[in-house]
Structure 1
Amino acid sequence: MIVTPTALSGCVIIEPNVIKDERGYFMESFNEARFEAATGIKAHFVQDNQSYSSKGVLRGLHYQTGQHAQAKLVRVIEGEVLDIAVDIRPGSETHGQYVAVVISGENNKQLFVPRGFAHGFLVLSNTATFFYKCDNFYNKESEGGIIYNDPAIGIDWSLPDADLIISDKDTVLPTLKDSKKAW
């Protein structure tokens, strides 16, 4: 696997080894021991989630707070998304900054999103199946969120607002300044 650090400490891009032949391909999408050896990050995942969405669907920016904070390892099984991780760790030198990565069923890239980050994605293809592992169980009372278009963060979502499909819940999220603290 190839591990590429991003500008945000702890947030890394993973490119698994994909073995292709005339039958198709095989890849090990996750191996805890290899992941730790390659990244230096201890992550024990306890919950897997999957979503299916159409072009223009924007999900996020979401996170869990306190003892229920979650690290995520995200990937796309089919389709293509613009994946976003925002550093919301108090006191972090990169607080309020984001990383954007196009991940797809074709490029097989994965993004490790550490605890203390908000996460969201936008579907760029006609449809996408998005899959992610979490290192902590979901807890509704610990939900946090940040509005996708917070000018203080300045995310370039690559599609005009008129083309975005966003849940009612996500359209009324607060700005980073007014959001729940990560810890």
Structure 2
Amino acid sequence: MSSIIFREPLVSDADSIWNLVNSNKPLDENSKYLYVLLCHQFSKTCVVAESDSKIIGFLSGFISPKNPDTLFVWQAAVDDEFRNKGIAKELVLKALSQTDPTVQFVEATVTPSNKASLKFLQNFASQLDADFTKSPLFSTEILGHNHEPEDLIRIGPIQKSLLEVTA
């Protein structure tokens, strides 16, 4: 296997990202246009992982005006062939390293059935010696009865000086 490069996404990556996300269940399917916008407007808080010129991982995130000290991770996807190799962790670390020094928290939402994401976030918090909290955020009444509730995961504070050591 060749080396994996972690970098900011380009607009030209949007089609590959869209295909990757759509092949990663249970992630929600979104329009290709959304990924064009993410690559164009949020490239500083999104990351792609690339191997042999193929997008094999993607993390979308943003800094909310409501919480300027928090990187909100919206979606993370890794190609089946590359799972369990630490790529998701590197995607989050790279996204964090691209943010301002004032960003000390990571948030994400997780459905109750997405045990793999929950375990990943718990392990990530543990590896960074950061607090981990889970609280209800959006109910099925809000999201619609075809969508599970979403719990808010909050990790931090994160000492960014530790990121280089743990990466």
The TM-score with structure 2 as length reference comes to 0.30
Structure number having the greater strand percentage: 1
Computing the radius of gyration from Cα coordinates, the structure with the larger value is 1
The TM-score with structure 1 as length reference comes to 0.28
